[in-house]
Amino acid sequence: MKYYDKLIFELSAEGKRGWSLPKSAFPAVPALDAELLRAEDPALPEVSEVDVVRHYTALSQMNFGVDSGFYPLGSCTMKYNPKINEELAAHPGFASLHPLQSDEDAAGAVALRDGLEKCLCSITGMKAFTFEPCAGAHGELTGLMLIRSYHNSRGDFARTKIIVPDSAHGTNPASAAVCGLQVVQVNSRPDGRVDIEALRPLLGDDIAGMMLTNPNTLGLFESQIGEIAALVHECGGLMYYDGANMNPLIGVVRPGDMGFDVMHLNLHKSFSTPHGGGGPGSGPVGVNDKLKEFLPKIKVSAFHGNFAVMMRAYAYILSLGRENVPMLGRLATLSANYIKESLKDVYCLPIEGLCKHEFVFDGLADKSTGVTTLDIAKRLLDYGFHAPTIYFPLLFHQSIMIEPTETEGKDTLDSFIAVMRCIAEEAASDPEMVKSAPHTTPVRRPDEATAARHPQLKFADL
């Protein structure tokens, strides 16, 4: 049994203490009324300081993060997070600000927000941003509310539908539903792009707009984006850009120039804040001139949004500078294509051609081994890599979605490629070994459905 197999409660022994306090120099305070006191002492573990330190250190080492290894999770951009960003975000001059302080008192923070807004406008081609939304999905809702305000302001109340492609991120239809819009799905062509001929008949005076991400969830660029935007505008709708994964475009093309009217960014994906388990996030919403006047009326969170994430984004952009920011999109695209081309003889590539920041394999090329995408993902853990996104998008049965990001060196990409090739060989020579992976992690194949449906989160439940 390993140290981390025990819960902190199981390490408890009567009389052990992790603290010692000096004798109080103050007079005794009067005892509290009996009704304010609990009937029994709380069930806290009794452990020494070293027990606590080792317990939590061991737990932290069971985890995998961007600081422990390569993290090729498609659609979610977990990239390198320069440590100077953390230092800046913790700077007491910013971290100690009170949200009710006046703009004059907080002139530095205001300047930072304005500076970041200027950078994002220049990167996206939008005219103004709000930083209130605290996640990508929160930004989507905000952007859709802006679209609704725009139509309502013209007395046009009939636009109750929004078009969303079948390849969209799940938050798109969810945000539209929360905003009270009816989702109309447009299907993709076999090459993974929006089918314009399927789009045409959906357009009319009940359409509020269309939500699109470009490159789409397969990492493919919608090459007919100009035509799509023109068709939606012709029918009176607006174009919403899901810029959660903007990194492949940064410095190459701008949503504002592609005909989008409103968009969100995920600062926590494309601008260097590591995220997971629900935060921290920032989903600023940018608008063009059509929607600018509606921005100040939108109030979707307390105060000014998630300021520390904004600070990291600003530090990332400024430390790269105007000369290097244009490298982001190019390097993200180069890294993804390098991996794709190096592996497509042993993994099944359903859609050929140039991808952007990510791409999707449909399991192994050799379907006779019985080794599935789940097995490959589990085996990668043995080699010290985080698994890619698996079984998403739903367009293929054995999806493996790989996104290396722009901040990984060629050495790391090469070792990932070597390990993926090695797993393909193992699948042929010793499929049972791959199917029973991982062999080296403290937790191997948990029952994920039961863990999600009946989570046991308290010691007493066990």
Ligand X SMILES: *Cc1c(COP(=O)(O)O)cnc(C)c1O
Restricted to residues 42-101, the positions that interact with ligand X (CB under 6 A) are 75-76
Minimum Å distance from CB 140 to ligand X? 7
Minimum Å distance from CB 242 to ligand X? 5
Alpha-carbon distances, residue 356 vs 8, 86, 221, 246, 417 (angstroms): 46, 29, 7, 11, 18
Chosen residue from 245, 337, 373, 398 binding ligand X by CB under 6 A = 245
Minimum Å distance from CB 393 to ligand X? 11
What is the DSSP secondary-structure string of 295-349?
A: GGG---SSTT--HHHHHHHHHHHHHHHHHHTTHHHHHHHHHHHHHHHHHTTTB--
- Amino acid code (one letter) for 422: C
Both structure tokens of 173: 């239809």
Q: Omega into 215 within 30° of 0, i.e. cis?
A: yes
Nearer to ligand X, 164 or 377 (CB): 164
Cβ atoms 176, 187 nearer than 8 A: no
Minimum Å distance from CB 81 to ligand X? 16
Residues 320-359 vs ligand X: string with x where CB under 6 A?
----------------------------------------
Cα separation, 255 vs 266, whole angstroms: 14
For residue 29, the 8-state DSSP code is: P
Restricted to residues 162-201, the positions that interact with ligand X (CB under 6 A) are 169, 171
Number of alpha carbons in the 13 Å side-chain half-sphere of residue 419: 20
Task: Give the β-pairing of 238-243 and 262-265.
Answer: parallel
Cα separation, 230 vs 245, whole angstroms: 23
Nearer to ligand X, 137 or 238 (CB): 137
> Which residues share a beta bridge with 128?
287
For residue 42, the 8-state DSSP code is: -
Binding of residue 213 to ligand X (CB under 6 A):
yes
The window from 25-33, 86-94, 241-249, 386-394 that contacts ligand X (CB under 6 A) reads: 241-249
Binding of residue 310 to ligand X (CB under 6 A):
no
Both structure tokens of 47: 């452990």
Number of alpha carbons in the 13 Å side-chain half-sphere of residue 86: 5
Minimum Å distance from CB 53 to ligand X? 33
Nearer to ligand X, 245 or 369 (CB): 245
Nearer to ligand X, 117 or 242 (CB): 242
CB atoms within 10 A of CB 23: 4
Chosen residue from 117, 132, 222, 242 binding ligand X by CB under 6 A = 242
Cα separation, 62 vs 362, whole angstroms: 29
Cβ atoms 435, 375 nearer than 8 A: yes
Minimum Å distance from CB 228 to ligand X? 17
Binding of residue 403 to ligand X (CB under 6 A):
no
Minimum Å distance from CB 216 to ligand X? 9
Minimum Å distance from CB 240 to ligand X? 11
Chosen residue from 143, 209, 281, 393 binding ligand X by CB under 6 A = 281
Minimum Å distance from CB 212 to ligand X? 10
Nearer to ligand X, 211 or 424 (CB): 211
Cα separation, 52 vs 50, whole angstroms: 5
Chosen residue from 66, 106, 228, 244 binding ligand X by CB under 6 A = 244
Alpha-carbon distances, residue 168 vs 22, 212, 217, 240 (angstroms): 60, 7, 6, 12
Restricted to residues 128-147, the positions that interact with ligand X (CB under 6 A) are 135-137
Cβ atoms 258, 229 nearer than 8 A: yes
Minimum Å distance from CB 267 to ligand X? 9
> Which residues share a beta bridge with 185?
164
Nearer to ligand X, 141 or 434 (CB): 141
Cβ atoms 223, 258 nearer than 8 A: no
Alpha-carbon distances, residue 402 vs 76, 226, 316, 332 (angstroms): 10, 28, 23, 12
The window from 19-27, 96-104, 237-245, 339-347 that contacts ligand X (CB under 6 A) reads: 237-245
Minimum Å distance from CB 295 to ligand X? 20
Q: Give how many residues touch ligand X by CB under 6 A.
A: 14
Residue number of the CB atom closest to ligand X: 136
Which parts of this chain interact with ligand X (CB under 6 A)? 75-76, 135-137, 169, 171, 213, 242, 244-245, 266, 281, 283
